[in-house]
Structure 1
Amino acid sequence: MSWEPQPGSGSPDTLNGETDKPQSPEELQEEARKIRRLQMVVNMVTQVIAQDSTLGVDEASEMVADTRRLALGMFPDKELAFNLIFWPRLQRLMRERYRMQ
């Protein structure tokens, strides 16, 4: 079995005729900065929800929704990545904190 890409089995980015061009060092640095920023925001939101006993479920839900909007604003084409990486963590926290089903 070969691990090389097979003809006609392009990634979703190449299926529509576009090819992935290598990112410049500046673009890679900017993307890494945005990823770190998003990680910090998610960490802060989870800490506030977990530790602030005065925070109601509506306020916490709004914080989660705002975090999602921020993530999709920073990475518009990465909704699946957000749903796989951060969404389960936020859902679990809301269930545990507010005894939600």
Structure 2
Amino acid sequence: MGSIDYNREADYNPDSLPAPLGPLDSASPQDPAPQSPEELKEENRKIRRLQMVVNMVTQVIAQDSSLSVEEASEMVADTRRLALGMFPDKELAFNLIYWPRLQRLMRERFRMQ
């Protein structure tokens, strides 16, 4: 493995750097309108609710020894429907954040492949 010489200036060319981005809070024509404090409060409330639901579902699946795989699968599907009902345009976020956790739990709990 080679080492990096951080004091070397030969490779530095400020003209090759990308243009800086504007402020993160500036709205572009494609961005939705900024949220009001009430809308932010409501969104945070829904996020906390979804987190609680997912946590409860994961606990039930992990700890209830009488739960069948069909019942657990139905709970996972219901959780997904709830999340998409609360946040209809955030399916990708659910698939990236919660879906892997639920899949891993189902594999571990029911020895699935």
TM category (shorter chain) comes to 0.7 to 0.9
Aligned to 1:37: 49
Among residues 42, 58, 66, which one is paired with 2:70 in the alignment?
Answer: 58
State the percentage of identical aligned residues.
81
Aligned to 1:89: 101
Give the Å deviation of 1:3.
3.6
Aligned to 2:19: 2
Which contiguous aligned blocks of 4+ residues in structure 1 show a shift greater than 2 angstroms?
none
Count of aligned pairs: 91
Among residues 69, 75, 79, which one is paired with 1:67 in the alignment?
Answer: 79
Aligned to 2:15: none
Counterparts in 2 of 1:5-16, with a 5 A limit? 14=30
Structure 2, gaps ≥5 residues long? 1-17, 23-27
Give the Å deviation of 1:2.
2.6
- TM-score after normalising by structure 2: 0.77
Give the superposed CA RMSD: 1.5
Among residues 79, 92, 102, which one is paired with 1:80 in the alignment?
Answer: 92
Larger radius of gyration: 2
AA matched with 2:106: M
1:34-75 per-residue CA deviation (whole Å, 9 max, x = no partner) reads 000000000000000000000000000000000000000000
Distance verdict in 2 for CA 1:64–1:3, change over 3 Å = farther
Structure 1, gaps ≥5 residues long? 6-10
- TM-score after normalising by structure 1: 0.86
